[in-house]
Amino acid sequence: MVWNPIARRHQEKRAALAATTARAVLAEWAKVRPESVAADWARLLPKVTAYVQAGQLHAAEGSDTFMRELLGPEAEGAPEVDPAQFASQTPDGRNAMSLLARGAPTAITAQRRRLSPRAAMARGAAFLDLVVRTVVSDTGRQADQVAMVANKGVRAYVRVVELPACSRCIILAGREYGVSSGFLRHPRCDCTMEPVTRRNRPSPLDAEDLFESMSPEQRRKVFGEAGAKAIGDGARISSVVNARKSMDKVEMFGKTVQVTYTGTGSRRKKRPPRLMPEEIYRLAGDDRDEAIRLLFRNGFLR
């Protein structure tokens, strides 16, 4: 069993985009002086926000390309995603700039706890790296899922996991989910989805396949010494992985309706509230036409 090369390339491009965007943001963070964190970061914030939004835009632009390359004629006639709409807020409906702004208080709090200036700045960098990679990856997956829901030939999706990956993702490798089911992920997760259609039937790598392809060192790193040995001796991988380390879907606001306002640069102007895709899927339930209608109405499709 092997991954479809198109799905694999899509996953690799997305992971590279998340990494590149994070590097660009961290290069700006490196200009911040420990003695004037708040002022320096406030000055750099518009530029950094633009980097992240560009990363989100690129991620969302990849969705239709991926669907066309992978599905060919089965992608014809399906509505297109509007990439700009996905870049106008974070995937859970927050303002990207205010999220990135939290890099400064992260470092300042660390300084107050008497960390060295260098260690305090490293805390800020770690926070920003996590936020940027997660936002870019989640944006890409959100756009991919909208593209899949919009194409009624897509019946389900499978999880594409590329090594190196953590144990939580490895046990989910190749699993199939309903087309609008929330994608389980953790911060920095770079797994992606491959659509299942009448013609495109992925026979993806599962946890056992991935384990087989790992070096002894990789196995120990991911599953621990005892875990790697147990799996090697025939234990089921899912019985070895710590299920307490759970993963989340993109729904950080819980059950409250996800409402946001378009555009980060026009916060003073009241715009009509919009629903985020995850909220749309929940509201539409099994009614796919309703989900598509709401995706159009909220600007995610065009």
Burial annotation 231-253 (CB, 10 A radius, 16+ → b, else e): beeeeebeebbeeeeeeeebbee
Least Å distance, CB 188 to Zn ion, is 8
- What residues from 8 to 27 belong to the interface with Zn ion (CB under 5 A)? none
Does residue 272 contact residue 283 with C-beta atoms inside 8 Å?
no
| Euclidean distance between CA atoms 159 and 177, whole angstroms | 8
Site track for Zn ion across 115-154, x = CB under 5 A: ----------------------------------------
In the complex with Zn ion, the residue whose CB is nearer, 136 or 169, is 169
Residue 67 or 189: which CB sits closer to Zn ion?
Answer: 189
169 touches Zn ion (CB under 5 A): yes
Q: Give φ, ψ of 178 to 5 degrees.
A: -60, 150
Stretch that binds Zn ion, among 43-51, 144-152, 184-192, 234-242 (CB under 5 A): 184-192
DSSP 8-state secondary structure symbol assigned to residue 36: G
The answer to whether 211 and 237 are in contact (CB under 8 A) is yes
Nearer to Zn ion, 57 or 166 (CB): 166
Instruction: Give the count of residues interacting with Zn ion (CB under 5 A).
Output: 3
> Does residue 166 touch Zn ion according to CB under 5 A?
yes
Nearest to 109 by CA among 123, 98, 96, 97: 123
92 with 253: CB under 8 angstroms? Answer: yes
Contact region with Zn ion (CB under 5 A), list: 115-123, 136-144, 158-166, 252-260: 158-166
Residue 59 vs 171, nearer CB to Zn ion: 171
Q: How far is the CB of 210 from Zn ion (least distance, A)?
A: 12
Binding mask 186-215 for Zn ion (x = CB under 5 A): ---x--------------------------
Do the beta carbons of residue 120 and residue 110 sit within 8 Å?
Answer: yes
Residue 71 φ then ψ, to 5°? -100, -15
Nearer to Zn ion, 107 or 171 (CB): 171
Nearest to Zn ion by Cβ — which residue?
Answer: 169
Q: In whole angstroms, give the CA distance from residue 266 to residue 241.
A: 46
Give the shortest CB-169-to-Zn ion separation in angstroms.
3
What's the Rg (C-alpha) of the chain? 20
CB 137 within 8 Å of CB 189: yes
Q: Give residues in contact with Zn ion (CB under 5 A).
A: 166, 169, 189
